[in-house]
């Protein structure tokens, strides 16, 4: 007999995931643990524990420690089908828990591979952009470690593949993926309404400046950057970037109502196209921000500086010009 399986049981093994770059290394280590978030959902999860930890049955899943496989040589050839998880699958033929077969520790565990049997599936898109069912393949290339977590709780054998549990888990994964996709669409519509009516409202921006950054974030994620109040269209994007201790990123934004003529043409504002204009008759110094907004500073004498708390920006005047930081 073997110890009863439970959550946080460590799982180690080797998975086969082919890469697209030489030397096309297919061997990738798997280090994870038995951990199924669905077991903690009220009324849907389990209330059976082994030494204070949720029990592990044949359809209990697990997760890889870094949460996803890291390719050792180039990108994965079948990245969309990699599950980055494990499934117990093997369980006792005679011991049941919550209607499923109880799994043991110190036995084979199914982990994601490029070849195997489909134990889970999700709704996704193929290279042509069409929505389809994408299965994740699993093979018995890993083992759970029989580390005791308290007084021994044993599970008798024999230990066999649970094909009924496999079908239940496969159906549950497809249903959960469909619900997540529908929920994501509903959330996207709600964010569009929020972005339209609130974040692009000029009155709210004046009273609550922090909404500007949230609005820009939503626009970058495709939530229709159109101001329904005045019909202004906003397009923001990053052309290129170089990661480094001092990162370089070329970002620009276009506003349909902007009359600014900059480096990149009419209405286009670049993150490096910063200008300062002093209007002495008006008693104000204008600074153009990275996103194209104009911020008013008080007149600054040579050698002086002023900190704008709302923008967290300091404007300093030197003999050669102005510095903003």
The arithmetic mean of pLDDT across residues 74-101, rounded, is 90
Q: Which residue has the higher pLDDT, 269 or 149?
A: 149
Other CB atoms within 10 A of residue 78 CB: 15
Is the domain of 112 the same as that of 249?
no
Which residue do the tokens 């999700």 mark? 122
Identify the pLDDT of residue 202. 53
The answer to whether position 168 is within a domain reads no
Is the domain of 49 the same as that of 142?
yes
Confidence check: pLDDT of 198 > 60: no
Is the domain of 123 the same as that of 222?
no
Is the domain of 111 the same as that of 13?
yes
The answer to whether position 196 is within a domain reads no
Q: Which residue has the higher pLDDT, 267 or 33?
A: 33
Identify the pLDDT of residue 12. 97
Is the domain of 130 the same as that of 230?
no
The confidence band for 213, taking pLDDT boundaries of 50, 70 and 90, is very low
Is the domain of 156 the same as that of 222?
no
pLDDT > 90: percent of the chain: 30
User: Of 17-31, 122-136, 187-201, 208-222, which one has max mean pLDDT?
Assistant: 17-31
The answer to whether position 167 is within a domain reads no
Confidence check: pLDDT of 199 > 50: no
Total domains in the chain come to 2
pLDDT 10s digits, 16-33: 999 888 888 899 999 999
Is the domain of 227 the same as that of 319?
yes
Structural domain boundaries, residue 298: 213-324
Identify the pLDDT of residue 248. 84
The pLDDT mean for the chain works out to 80
Identify the pLDDT of residue 110. 94
Is the domain of 155 the same as that of 283?
no
Q: Which of 161, 182, 199 is the last residue of a domain?
A: 161
Confidence check: pLDDT of 195 > 60: no
Rounded to whole angstroms, what are the CA distances from 279 to 146, 191, 217?
Answer: 76, 40, 33
The confidence band for 66, taking pLDDT boundaries of 50, 70 and 90, is confident
Confidence check: pLDDT of 2 > 90: yes
The answer to whether position 27 is within a domain reads yes
Give the whole-angstrom CA distance, residue 257 versus residue 191. Answer: 24
Give the whole-angstrom CA distance, residue 141 versus residue 121. Answer: 19
Is the domain of 9 the same as that of 157?
yes
The answer to whether position 7 is within a domain reads yes
Is the domain of 102 the same as that of 229?
no
The answer to whether position 104 is within a domain reads yes
Is the domain of 6 the same as that of 108?
yes
Confidence check: pLDDT of 7 > 80: yes
Residue 93, both tokens: 């033929």
Q: Among 17-21, 211-215, 242-246, 288-292, which stretch is predicted with the lowest mean pLDDT?
A: 211-215
Is the domain of 230 the same as that of 141?
no
The confidence band for 273, taking pLDDT boundaries of 50, 70 and 90, is confident
The answer to whether position 264 is within a domain reads yes
pTM listed for this prediction: 0.54
The answer to whether position 193 is within a domain reads no
Q: Which of 131, 146, 161 is the last residue of a domain?
A: 161
Q: Which of 121, 140, 161 is the last residue of a domain?
A: 161
Other CB atoms within 10 A of residue 13 CB: 20
């Amino acid at each position: 007999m073997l110890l009863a399986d439970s959550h946080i049981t460590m799982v180690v093994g080797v998975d086969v995931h082919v890469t697209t770059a030489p030397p096309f290394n297919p061997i990738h280590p798997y280090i994870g643990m038995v951990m199924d978030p669905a077991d903690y959902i009220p009324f849907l999860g389990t209330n059976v524990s082994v030494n204070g930890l949720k029990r592990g049955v044949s359809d209990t899943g697990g997760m890889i420690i870094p949460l996803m496989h890291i390719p050792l040589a180039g990108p994965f050839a079948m990245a969309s089908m990699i599950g980055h998880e494990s499934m117990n699958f093997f369980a006792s033929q005679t011991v049941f828990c919550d209607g499923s077969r109880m799994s043991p520790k110190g036995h084979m565990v199914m982990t994601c591979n490029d070849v195997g049997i489909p134990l889970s599936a999700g709704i996704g898109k193929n290279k042509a952009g069409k929505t389809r069912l994408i299965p994740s393949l699993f093979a018995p290339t890993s083992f759970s470690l029989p580390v005791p977590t308290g007084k021994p709780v044993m599970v008798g054998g024999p230990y066999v593949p649970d094909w009924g549990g496999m079908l239940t888990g496969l159906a549950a994964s497809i249903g959960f993926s469909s619900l997540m996709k529908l929920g994501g669409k509903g959330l996207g519509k709600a964010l569009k309404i929020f972005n339209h009516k609130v974040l692009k409202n000029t009155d709210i921006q004046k009273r609550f400046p922090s909404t500007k950054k949230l609005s820009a974030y939503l626009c970058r994620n495709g939530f229709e950057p159109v101001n329904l109040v005045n019909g202004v269209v906003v397009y923001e994007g990053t052309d290129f970037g170089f990661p480094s201790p001092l990162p370089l990123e070329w970002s620009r934004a276009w506003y349909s109502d902007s009359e600014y003529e900059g480096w990149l043409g009419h209405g286009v504002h670049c993150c490096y196209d910063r200008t300062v204009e002093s209007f002495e008759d008006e008693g104000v110094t204008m600074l153009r921000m990275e996103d194209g907004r104009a911020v008013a500073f008080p007149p600054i004498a040579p050698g002086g500086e002023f900190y704008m708390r709302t923008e967290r920006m300091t404007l300093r005047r030197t003999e050669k010009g102005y510095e903003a930081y």
